[in-house]
Amino acid sequence: MDKILVYGGHPLNGTVRVSGSKNSALPILAAALLTREPCVISNVPDLSDIHYMLQILSHMGASVERASGVVRIHAEKIKTEAPYDIVRKMRASVCVLGPLLGREKEATVSLPGGCVIGDRPIDLHLKGFEALGAVSRIEHGNVKIFAGELRGATVNLRGKLGPTVLGTDNVMMAAVLAEGTTVIESAAAEPEVVDLANFLNKMGARIEGAGTRRIVIHGVSELHGTEHAVIPDRIEAGTYLVAGAIGGGDVRLIRADPTHLGSVIEALQKTGYSVETGADTVRVRGNGAPRPLQLTTEPYPGFPTDMQAQMCALLCQGSGISVIRETIFPQRFMHVSELKRMGADIALDGHTAVISGVGKMSGAPVMASDLRASAALVLAGLKADGVTEVNRVYHIDRGYERIDEKLIQLGAKIERVKA
């Protein structure tokens, strides 16, 4: 098991290329199951979550070839079952349910369970499938779904904590081959949902309204193969913008999409940092400690929950009182106790973190609890005195393509070692 050592105090300067979006690539790879023809998907990031998804598709009978960020999937004949020994490694594997139901009218997929940032059930996914005419049940740890036929319907996917992104993806993928028209109300509007809809439309689907709270899907009889490039990862991009702010230098992102980063850019500007954007570039200049900030995580286009931990790491190193309110995953504060080990002053009150800036933190051995928490600990270590030892970095490899190498090319002093 690897760990990452971060030696603090080295300014960041230079250019870094943003990888393809993990949260786009996973459902798009699954959507290739909807056709018997080959699909070629480019700009696919090299991540452990992607490896697991490709293993699942291979297990289900698809031919999978991968080289230099390009994946070719040919699912001419497929099985309709995904077992626990593969699915347990990644919650997003549930996004094969929609394609299997749409194409084969049945699916048996093991439930992956909850995760460290809280329970994330698939009730809304099943609600959407059942609205289309499917019947589902949980049996021996598996979700089983059957449908004699799928018919278009209107379904509201708003949950108590907002719209569901994977649920929107799953219902959209099932509905593209349903008879008639499906309307998803309170749909997730994230760019990753739009990317999936664009991919499906290239395959011959008829989807309107992606990127809004109301998506309309006109069912078609079959889909064909296509080629598609995955959008840039806005969370990776946001993470490097925060790294640039903490690092106190001049960091430029290329192959980014600034239109997807509005709330993150706004938050950085409010804390006093200069952010400039181009057609596919974003540049941040670190110019001292951040000003205090009041921040609330919200569904897109609001501030993303996946950037909450990174902003927490930044605000700890400023002055004054900052407040972060988490409304998407209220339990998503596992990084707080580890940041405290580095000298942070953070008080938790329910789903709100009150951060008293300490100016300078100190390196310490810390434990990564989830993907974004691990990134936050690495970022905190960039400016901390001494060495920050981040353990369990398999979490970070789920969603960041060679983060240590990219930070090194910006001037950070980091090494990955065997624990």
124-140 mean pLDDT: 94
**Residue ranges in 46-96 assigned as alpha helix (H):** 48-59, 84-87
226-252 mean pLDDT: 97
Report d(CA 238, CA 21) in Å as an integer: 12
Q: Is the pLDDT of residue 120 over 60?
A: no
386-393 mean pLDDT: 95
Reported as type and span, the H/E element at residue 168 is helix 165-175
Q: What phi-psi label fits residue 105: left (phi over 0), alpha (psi between -120 and 50 degrees) or beta? A: left
The share of the chain scoring above pLDDT 70, in percent, equals 98
Q: What share of the chain is helix, strand, coil (3-state, %, to 5)?
A: 35, 30, 35
- Which band of pLDDT confidence, cut at 50, 70 and 90, is reported for residue 110? confident
Are the CB atoms for 60 and 96 separated by under 8 Å? yes
Q: pLDDT higher for 147 or 82?
A: 147
Are the CB atoms for 317 and 359 separated by under 8 Å? yes
- Which band of pLDDT confidence, cut at 50, 70 and 90, is reported for residue 93? confident
Of the listed ranges 160-164, 344-348, 384-388, 414-418, the least confidently predicted one is 160-164
Number of Cβ within 10 Å of residue 221's Cβ equals 7
* Nearest CA among 308, 317, 360 for reference residue 335: 308
How is domain 2-19+233-418 classified at the CATH fold level?
A: UDP-n-acetylglucosamine1-carboxyvinyl-transferase; Chain (3.65.10)
* Nearest CA among 291, 304, 288, 330 for reference residue 233: 304
Q: Is the pLDDT of residue 119 over 60?
A: no
Are the CB atoms for 105 and 99 separated by under 8 Å? no
Catalytic residue, candidates 39, 95, 115, 312: 115
38-55 mean pLDDT: 96
Tell me where in the chain the CATH 3.65.10.10 domain(s) lie.
2-19+233-418, 22-229
Of the listed ranges 7-21, 198-212, 325-339, the least confidently predicted one is 325-339
**Residue ranges in 211-361 assigned as alpha helix (H):** 234-247, 262-270, 308-316, 335-341
Residue 17, judged by CB atoms within 10 A of its CB (0-12, 13-18, 19+), counts as: middle
Are the CB atoms for 65 and 71 separated by under 8 Å? yes
Q: Is the pLDDT of residue 117 over 50?
A: no
Q: pTM of the full predicted structure? A: 0.96
Using DSSP, state whether 125 is helix, strand or coil. helix
88-92 mean pLDDT: 77
Are the CB atoms for 42 and 65 separated by under 8 Å? no
What length is written for the chain? 419
pLDDT value, residue 185: 98
Q: Is the peptide bond before 301 cis (omega within 30 degrees of 0)?
A: yes
* Nearest CA among 195, 148, 197 for reference residue 171: 197
87-95 mean pLDDT: 82
E-assigned strand segments in 69-174: 70-74, 81-82, 106-110, 135-139, 142-146, 154-156, 158-159, 162-163
CATH of region 22-229: 3.65.10.10
Report d(CA 8, CA 378) in Å as an integer: 10
pLDDT value, residue 134: 98
Using DSSP, state whether 149 is helix, strand or coil. coil
Q: What is the pLDDT of residues 392-419, one digit of tens each?
A: 999 999 999 999 999 999 999 999 998 7
- Which band of pLDDT confidence, cut at 50, 70 and 90, is reported for residue 140? confident
Q: What phi-psi label fits residue 88: left (phi over 0), alpha (psi between -120 and 50 degrees) or beta? A: alpha
**Residue ranges in 78-133 assigned as alpha helix (H):** 84-87, 97-104, 123-131
Dihedral in degrees, nearest 10, Cα atoms 332, 338, 344, 350 = 30
The share of the chain scoring above pLDDT 90, in percent, equals 85
**39 carries an active-site annotation:** no
Q: What is the pLDDT of residues 199-208, one digit of tens each?
A: 999 999 999 9
pLDDT value, residue 4: 97
pLDDT value, residue 22: 97
Q: What is the pLDDT of residues 350-375, one digit of tens each?
A: 999 999 999 889 999 999 889 999 99
Report d(CA 237, CA 281) in Å as an integer: 10
